[in-house]
Copies of this chain bind each other. A is one copy, B any other.
Amino acid sequence: MANQKKDFVKEITPQKEDFSRWYIDVIKKANLMDYAPVRGCIVFKPDGYELWEACQRHLDARFKATGHRNAYFPLFIPESFFQKEKEHVEGFNPELPWVTEAGGEKLEERLAVRPTSETIVGHMYAQWIHSYRDLPVLINQWANVVRWEKRTLPFLRTSEFLWQEGHTAHATEAEALAEQAQMLDIYTEFVESILAIPVYKGRKTELEKFAGAVSTFSIEAMMKDGKALQGGTSHYLGQNFAKGFDIKFLDRDNTLKHVYTTSWGISTRILGALIMVHGDDRGLALPPRIAPTQVIVIPIGPQNQRESVVSHAEELQSRIRNMGISVNMDSREDLSPGWKFNEYEMRGIPLRLELGPRDMASSQVVLVRRDTGEKLFVPESELPSRLPQLLDDIQHNMYNTAKKFRDDNSRVAHSLPELVETISTQRGFVLAGWCGDDACETATKDACGATSRVIPFEEPEHFETCVVCGKKAAHSVWFAKSY
């Protein structure tokens, strides 16, 4: 108890004081992760990994419902494979870790630890695909990948991270493009409806797209410090990898053609978004649909009535569990109710149920919402209808709150000085016109650190001129500082 109490006084830095310190304080205090003894790597502790498992369950069900199946490809990729797609090797080479020795011997060819698997998947697809009858190939992989990044931040950017990577092959460009769009829609639906995070959907610019892709679609979320975080990405690879790895099929018209491929992924960095979109100075706040524990039951009351309260709380707990709601109880005697209230608020449990002798006497319970702090006195008999409804309310309220914040901090700019001013003095995203030139795109970064996030599919506002050069605008672009 001494230890636990000591831990608890370790305060969380307020967001306004130092958002980065707030983030680290929260993920450490909520026991989500620890730093590993390997540069840029973290350990996913059970409370953090459980969030990833919940994401996996939701995503995996969606992938399977759209006809994808899981497979597993090797961790190691021979060096020569990276040479087969020129842009890909240029993009990833600087970040690769190399296995050069194994089993006591120096290897003849170095093996990269996979940063992503397009190359090895491409090599295998070339063996598997022969005819139009073999298409489409719709495969997903849950795996660890490694990118030796210079600057790392827990969950957001770590040397090793966990993700899923889908790899599909199609007979036609149209089918591949439909797959790319479908998978971005699946990510969007998951992130918005389960994680309660609103996103801007769009296309990456040439400079920001995936190394080797024809086009990259992305969803971009706004953190509470106004910075952007890229959620899932979905790439249309055209025939780039098909040509590099010679993936050909005999089509119905009896001619040999290269396939069209896509790849798409979402990683454990999405946990960083979950924390930075909903968390506050009291700690984590988890939307009910992703929270491993939706309701925490805390029996309270004097020692002499403890037994009957706890026993009734246990009964309530199992009734709630039978409603299909995930619930836990904390009846530890050596910790005060106040300590527990703070603890489960800090851990982001959406709903707290308090039960004391007086509540029992009047057949009611006290419910406290993590999102609003609202306290509700609810008759026990109404729990079966009220609890699911409340959890739904919390889910929607969290989404709406995040959306309001996002919208309030999404602005427009018509000139570079205006863009710089807005980014520098007001946090958030700035929409502006862009002519399409790389030079104008990088100018914003040089001027204020904001990069192009996406060319939105739905243009909230149309611009006539490029925010940098003043020539005719080709697109609207969301600019922001980003993680």
A76 and B124 contact, Cβ closer than 8 Å, known pairs A46-B71, A71-B46, A130-B3 = no
Contact of A100 among B81, B98, B124 (CB under 8 A): B98
Residues A111 and B70 in contact, CB atoms below 8 Å apart: no
Is A324's beta carbon under 8 Å from chain B? no
Residues A95 and B100 in contact, CB atoms below 8 Å apart: no
Is A291's beta carbon under 8 Å from chain B? no
Binds B, one of A37-45, A449-457, A468-476: A37-45
Is A321's beta carbon under 8 Å from chain B? no
Tell me the nearest residue of chain B to A147, going by C-beta: B103
Is A34's beta carbon under 8 Å from chain B? yes
Nearest-neighbour CB distance to chain B for A239, whole angstroms, equals 21
Distance, CA A336 to CA B249, complexed state (A): 25
Distance, CA A71 to CA B49, complexed state (A): 5
Residues of B close to A110: CB separation below 8 A: 101
Residues A38 and B76 in contact, CB atoms below 8 Å apart: yes
Residues B34 and A3 in contact, CB atoms below 8 Å apart: no
Residues A49 and B76 in contact, CB atoms below 8 Å apart: no
Contact of A43 among B37, B71, B149, B162 (CB under 8 A): B71
Is A104's beta carbon under 8 Å from chain B? yes
Tell me the nearest residue of chain B to A268, going by C-beta: B72
Residues A37 and B78 in contact, CB atoms below 8 Å apart: yes
Residues of B close to A44: CB separation below 8 A: 71-73
- 1/0 per residue, CB under 8 A from B, across A86-120: the answer is 00000001111111111110000011010000001
A43 and B72 contact, Cβ closer than 8 Å, known pairs A3-B133, A37-B123 = yes
Is A53's beta carbon under 8 Å from chain B? yes
Distance, CA A120 to CA B36, complexed state (A): 8
Residues A43 and B131 in contact, CB atoms below 8 Å apart: no
A75 and B34 contact, Cβ closer than 8 Å, known pairs A96-B102, A99-B99, A103-B97 = no
Residues of B close to A49: CB separation below 8 A: 69-72
Nearest-neighbour CB distance to chain B for A72, whole angstroms, equals 4
Residues A111 and B3 in contact, CB atoms below 8 Å apart: no
Residues of B close to A4: CB separation below 8 A: 133
Residues A50 and B70 in contact, CB atoms below 8 Å apart: yes
A70 and B46 contact, Cβ closer than 8 Å, known pairs A75-B146, A123-B37, A130-B3 = yes
Nearest-neighbour CB distance to chain B for A120, whole angstroms, equals 7
Is A127's beta carbon under 8 Å from chain B? yes
Residues of B close to A128: CB separation below 8 A: 34
Is A10's beta carbon under 8 Å from chain B? no
Residues of B close to A284: CB separation below 8 A: none
Chain A positions 20-73 with a Cβ under 8 Å from a chain B Cβ: 34, 36-38, 41-46, 49-50, 52-53, 69-73
Residues of B close to A124: CB separation below 8 A: 34, 36, 43
Contact of A53 among B70, B146, B160, B162 (CB under 8 A): B70
Chain A positions 154-168 with a Cβ under 8 Å from a chain B Cβ: 160, 162
Distance, CA A110 to CA B148, complexed state (A): 14
Is A139's beta carbon under 8 Å from chain B? yes
Distance, CA A93 to CA B101, complexed state (A): 12
Is A293's beta carbon under 8 Å from chain B? no
Residues of B close to A52: CB separation below 8 A: 72
Residues B102 and A97 in contact, CB atoms below 8 Å apart: yes
Distance, CA A95 to CA B75, complexed state (A): 16
- 1/0 per residue, CB under 8 A from B, across A134-176: the answer is 0000010001101011100000000010100000000000000
Residues B97 and A99 in contact, CB atoms below 8 Å apart: yes
Distance, CA A130 to CA B76, complexed state (A): 38
Is A74's beta carbon under 8 Å from chain B? yes
Residues of A within 8 A of B (CB): 1, 3-4, 34, 36-38, 41-46, 49-50, 52-53, 69-78, 81, 93-104, 110-111, 113, 120, 123-124, 127-128, 130-131, 133, 139, 143-144, 146, 148-150, 160, 162
**Could you list some 24 contacts between A and B, CB below 8 A?**
A3-B131, A34-B124, A34-B127, A37-B81, A38-B111, A41-B74, A41-B76, A43-B73, A43-B124, A46-B70, A46-B139, A50-B69, A50-B70, A53-B70, A76-B146, A93-B104, A94-B104, A95-B103, A97-B103, A97-B111, A99-B99, A102-B148, A103-B148, A103-B149
Q: In the complex, given contacts A49-B71, A103-B149, what are 6 additional A-B residue pairs having Cβ atoms less than 8 angstroms apart?
A: A3-B131, A43-B71, A43-B72, A49-B70, A99-B100, A102-B148
